[in-house]
Structure 1
Amino acid sequence: MKLMKTLATAALALGVALPSMADTTKVGFIYVGTPGDGGWTYEHEQARKEVVAHFGDQVETTFVESVAEGPDAERVLTQMALSGHDLIFTTSFGYMDQTNNVAAKFPDIKFEHATGYTRAHPNVSTYGARFYEGRAVIGTIAGRMTKSNKIGYIASFPIPEVIRGINSAYIHAKKVNPEVEMKVVWVFSWFDPAKEADAAAALIEQGVDVIMQHTDSTAPMAKAAETEGVIAFGQASDMGQYAPSPRVSSIIDNWAPYYIERTQAVIDGTWEQADTWGGIGSGMVEIGDFTDVLPAPVQDEANALKDALADGSYHAFTGPLNKQDGTPWLAEGETANDGDLASMNFYVEGIDAELPN
């Protein structure tokens, strides 16, 4: 410390700038899974690497993987805050309360919480993606491609984000195939390959020949690969190693532009609290390449829907739509507002499954 003070005094006397650790912005990431999960955490890790590539020596990044949602997340976040970070991204829904709790104790640090809806302090922002737009596209493909008229969905937790995805996939499968049925299996975990594989097997045993998922591992894809005639979709990441079958396309989370933008704002001193919800149009949600398993007309239809969602000429939740119990929800031509979507806690009419509490 004395040496640094001496160097600083000398530099000031000579009128030269002394390189300082303060010139480096320290950015941390908290992961719910491992970067090798092939899905959700993998894509966040790829985005972190792009931050490093973009900024070079301007930034130092760190990450902690496999942090359980709950009290342990607060401990990890506190340790990260105490270790000199300027910006911290908490990348799972279940970190919401812990992010706000720690942010209250460290008002000079910026916190960004993925997929949350609470920002209780001015140094907390939220960000998420309109995954339901991607589900609309793959739901359309599912409705066209199923031969059994049974499509399956492996769900993680009954939170609005997941419920929106189930509803969007079903609505759009039903639009192109009125005979379609949806089967839902809840695993109550983001990343548990064994449970996810068992869920896929259970769906296949029920006659499902198209599998969708809102879980983080490639296990459902691997299980689908064991059964001829079953197709599936990459989740959060491309999962291209399973193409051309069973993987026929994918929903890809592209976090890098957002992470670069928010890191730049901290560097520039222009960071402001915000709620960001990007979709296909902003590039935060991408649709993976279609394989040749999909006939050209199905690809064309999916691309047309993707384009309409991207330019805003179509909304994935457009009436007439009823809730599962038959209660009217959206009238003809009416679209759901973001508040309704953010708090969605019901299935739409036609889904023959019970929504867990």
Structure 2
Amino acid sequence: MEIETRKIPTQEKKNFNFVDTIRCISMVGIVFEHSAVLWGIKYEDKTDLYLQVASMQFWKFATIAFFLIGGFLINYKFTEYTPMQYLVRRFKSTIKPWLFWIMILVILNLVHKAVLNIKLGRSFFNGDPVGYFSEEFRYILFESSFWFILNFLICISILLLFKKYLYKLWFGLILLLISLVYSCNLYYEWFVTHHSAALFGFVFYLWLGVYLNKYFDHVMSFVKKVKWEYVVIVNIAFFAFACCEVIFLIHHGSRDEYNTLRISNILYSLTMFVMLLKIGAVRFIDTKLKPRQTTFGIYLIHQILIIRLLPEIFKSNRWNYLYLSVGQNILASVLRFLVVYLIAFVITRLLLKTKMRWVVGG
């Protein structure tokens, strides 16, 4: 049976000319966040602390914005294909590249460990190869950014499972309440707060993207009517609120103070998304950076560069981040981001010109 030919009737598509711009900006934020060196550093001076928090919080809208734009993009796919057809297509285009780059990272880590052990005269796997590879895959799947590809597919599967309720507000409310459980958990720690534990926390934002797509004309009519000064003021207010919540969580001993699902960050992310909708398409981004073709490849490759390349580039003692000022660490984070993003972008563009284009979703 040919899956591709069994499309079901769908409505006429709209031109979402803002999608690629938001997709690119969101990916910039995600890569910057992962490249930053400010994680875990404790500054005693209040000004240093505020600068650290502000620089880290600024891009924290990116993950939720990415799930929202993902919902915009998959809404039509939900109507064009049956659930099984869509999942088969999605897994083919997503899982194969995902598994390829995971194996690349495993191999690079293995080579690095082999060189290190030879230099130190240690046994290769310390007598436990099964344990070594088990830990490798556990770390990559649950501790690195590769987790969010799996999480994204799980979120899509949940929406497909409850497809007949997709446009019901009560269904969205249930998903929102689930997300808010993770927000409250930051304070009460009923369960671990790590991002891999937030298995169902991001389904709401994917659903919200689908819902906003369905009522796109009404959404854009509202966005266009809202004055720019109101959008800016509200964003600044929620940004300040999000920074304050981070500082509050730090002072109360939280181990995950920058968690994406903080209530303040949810509000900041949603209002930032409104601002991005109001900005619309940015021609330079769409024509020069080609986010539609490059975003997935950049995401898959950037974590490998962070884990394996950056330590080699910034291994000099002058890059001991614990002894640098907050300003120097912010500049170092920007530099690391530029290295990672540009190299991932170039690699993706080169692969798209070859028969290996499938490894970056091409």
TM-score for both structures, normalised by structure 2: 0.27
Which structure: greater strand fraction?
A: 1
RCO higher in structure (CA 8 A, sep ≥6): 2
